[in-house]
Amino acid sequence: MELQFLGTGAGQPAKARNVSSLVLKLLNEIDQVWMFDCGEGTQRQILDTTIKPRKVRKIFITHLHGDHVLGLPGFLASRSFQASEEQTDLDIYGPVGIRSMVLNTLKLSGTRLPYRINFHEFDALSLGKILETDKFTVYAEKLDHTIFCVGYRVVQKDLEGTLDAEKLKAAGLPFGPLFGKVKNGQDVVLEDGTKIIAKDYISDPRKGKVLAILGDTRKCHASVRLALGADILVHESTYGRGDERLARNHGHSTNMQAAQVAKDASAKRLLMNHISARFLARDVRQLEADARGIFENSKVVWDLEEVEIWHRKNSGWLLLQGPRVA
């Protein structure tokens, strides 16, 4: 499981930051990529990654401000320029209005898609669990922005324990069909009468990962609820320390407020995005330093940056981050 940030800026494109979009790469888990928001220029950003558009199977929109959705028609159109055998259907989740926005744009531009789009619209009265598969559940909750906006909580279901093959071999079990039985939890008896108890050779189930990916918002209780115990919280930080009044007036948060949400939610890691173009590299270092005064594991992310999440024994998750790209 990996996160990659395609756009980390606020409001309008800047030289170092494009507008909002990120992807959750679930290639090892379900061979899919899930996109969250699709601001203008997102398809251009993808050209500098290894992402294959046909692998993007679900798109989650937080709200209908242009810097979060205006890249969607172009991406959908370009996604159709694939070999016919590579065409895959797509699900789009978002506020009421996303369906008409997409379909009207495609109609007016004469764009025909060779794949099906399934729309899943919601309003403030139809939030909660919006998606459940055999491996993941996604929840949405209303945030506090200038228009209807949501945050998403992505919960991976617990993972099955793994088979200790070396321990089984040492116990005298030959590799073959009996291995499969033990892996499926069945006890087996060897020719010499030795009984192999399956649970002694299978590790305990591993807790699935939890990610909270928020849209634009003022500091609010919903942000904390979405991020409770999350392994990663992605939170906007349009403004810096001392800008609380500006942030509230414009429906946004400061880095300090994002850090406080992470702390209140007992999240493990805070990744701050939606950064104003007025913050240069030295300012970003200060944003991080200030946030770490409240929540130590805080970081401002950059365009094209990747975050990998691995299981680690004893203490939860190990996060390996790619180099900053600006």
Considering the domain architecture, whether residues 233 and 286 belong to the same structural domain is answered as yes
User: Which listed residue (31, 48, 67, 216) is catalytic?
Assistant: 67
pLDDT at 83: 65
Residue 122, in any domain of the structure: yes
Considering the domain architecture, whether residues 254 and 187 belong to the same structural domain is answered as no
Residue 59, in any domain of the structure: yes
Q: Examine the residue annotation and report whether 67 is marked as an active-site residue of this protein.
A: yes
| Mean predicted confidence (pLDDT) in 201-218 | 92
Considering the domain architecture, whether residues 217 and 186 belong to the same structural domain is answered as no
Question: Which amino acid is located at 169 in the chain?
Answer: K
Considering the domain architecture, whether residues 31 and 134 belong to the same structural domain is answered as yes
- CA dist 237 and 118 (Å) reads 32
**Res 67 pLDDT > 50:** yes
DSSP string over 211-248: EEEE-S--S-HHHHHHHTT-SEEEEE--B-TT-HHHHH
Residue 58, in any domain of the structure: yes
Strands 195-196 and 232-236: unpaired
Confidence of residue 81 (pLDDT cuts 50, 70, 90): confident
- The domain in which residue 193 lies consists of 165-198
Judged by average pLDDT, the poorest of 162-176, 239-253, 277-291 is 162-176
How many CA atoms lie less than 13 Å away from 74 in the CB half-sphere? 12
Residue 130, in any domain of the structure: yes
pLDDT at 326: 37
Considering the domain architecture, whether residues 172 and 52 belong to the same structural domain is answered as no
**Res 322 pLDDT > 60:** no
Domain count, the chain: 2
Percent of the chain with pLDDT over 70: 94
| Mean predicted confidence (pLDDT) in 177-206 | 82
Question: Between 200 and 42, whose confidence is greater?
Answer: 42
Considering the domain architecture, whether residues 148 and 96 belong to the same structural domain is answered as yes
Sheet-wide strand order for 56-60: 117-122, 90-95, 56-60, 32-36, 21-26, 2-7, 306-311, 317-321
Considering the domain architecture, whether residues 155 and 169 belong to the same structural domain is answered as no
Tell me, what CATH number does 266's domain have?
Answer: 3.60.15.10
What does the radius of gyration of the chain's CA atoms come to, in whole angstroms?
22
Considering the domain architecture, whether residues 145 and 239 belong to the same structural domain is answered as yes
Considering the domain architecture, whether residues 98 and 190 belong to the same structural domain is answered as no
Residue 9, in any domain of the structure: yes
| Mean predicted confidence (pLDDT) in 49-73 | 97
- CA dist 132 and 160 (Å) reads 18
pTM: 0.88
pLDDT at 74: 96
Considering the domain architecture, whether residues 176 and 36 belong to the same structural domain is answered as no
Question: Between 181 and 77, whose confidence is greater?
Answer: 77
- Contacts of residue 175, defined as CB under 8 A and 6 or more positions apart, other chains included, come to 165, 169
Percent of the chain with pLDDT over 90: 75
**Res 311 pLDDT > 70:** no
Residue 102, in any domain of the structure: yes
Considering the domain architecture, whether residues 70 and 210 belong to the same structural domain is answered as yes
Residue 326, in any domain of the structure: no
pLDDT at 319: 45
Q: Token digits for 50?
A: 């290894």
Question: Between 178 and 41, whose confidence is greater?
Answer: 41
Angle among Cα 177, 179, 182 to the nearest 5 degrees reads 115
Judged by average pLDDT, the poorest of 94-98, 199-203, 285-289, 312-316 is 312-316
Angle among Cα 123, 125, 131 to the nearest 5 degrees reads 70
**Res 20 pLDDT > 50:** yes
Considering the domain architecture, whether residues 12 and 124 belong to the same structural domain is answered as yes
Residue 91, in any domain of the structure: yes
